[in-house]
Chain A
Amino acid sequence: LAKTTQPISMDSYEGQEVNITCSHNNIATNDYITWYQQFPSQGPRFIIQGYKTKVTNEVASLFIPADRKSSTLSLPRVSLSDTAVYYCLVGDPDSGGGADGLTFGKGTHLIIQP
């Protein structure tokens, strides 16, 4: 089971691009990388998922280098409402019935200031 390491917290300012990096040195061949966002007293919300190179949607981009031992969530032009905890998960969607990819660590607490 691949473990992940993220910074505990990050600060930035409105209008800036924010990059949050997740390390997963033991990522397996079939593992995907998934990011969630959580606001206080709410359930997490799916942001993006990827396997390699770059994935982009209307909310964020996910950059994954060739060795896949890390990944970077990029949030363009953040606003105050992006203040939240961001979780990186790694696991295999077709893990044969196990709980692979269901480990939420402590995440990264992103604080956006005016």
Chain B
Amino acid sequence: DGGITQSPKYLFRKEGQNVTLSCEQNLNHDAMYWYRQDPGQGLRLIYYSQIVNDFQKGDIAEGYSVSREKKESFPLTVTSAQKNPTAFYLCASSIGRGNYEQYFGPGTRLTVT
């Protein structure tokens, strides 16, 4: 089955700790994205990558970091510098850059206390 997976589904961390969210796709897509969603809000773009070893900041990149060492994987690290990290994090992929159809993972709900 082709698709995009995120793990874990729920994640709990103490304030001040870095945490890495996993995102893997086997769709052979070039582009991958990370979004954040807060309750009752739309999705906000954190980072995106169009090819391996390249990524760009989205609208709210501060306090986050990413890597794209493999086409299939695009992990997101939420650092201690992120002031309000508790949120629903969504990873997506698409064939190419820009406004192509995006396939989303099931999301990771991060709670930091």
Contact = CB atoms under 8 A, between A and B. Distances in A.
A63 interface: no
Interface residues of B, number: 29
Contacts of A105: 42
Contacts of B69: none
Interface string A17-61: 000000000000001101010000111111001000000000000
A16 interface: no
Place the interface of chain A in its size category. Answer: 20 to 34
Q: Is the interface of A mostly helix, strand, loop or mixed?
A: loop
Nearest to A31: B99
Given A102-B33, A104-B35, A107-B42, A46 B88 contact: no
14 contacts: A34-B99, A49-B99, A89-B99, A92-B99, A93-B98, A94-B97, A95-B97, A98-B98, A99-B98, A102-B33, A102-B48, A103-B45, A104-B43, A104-B44
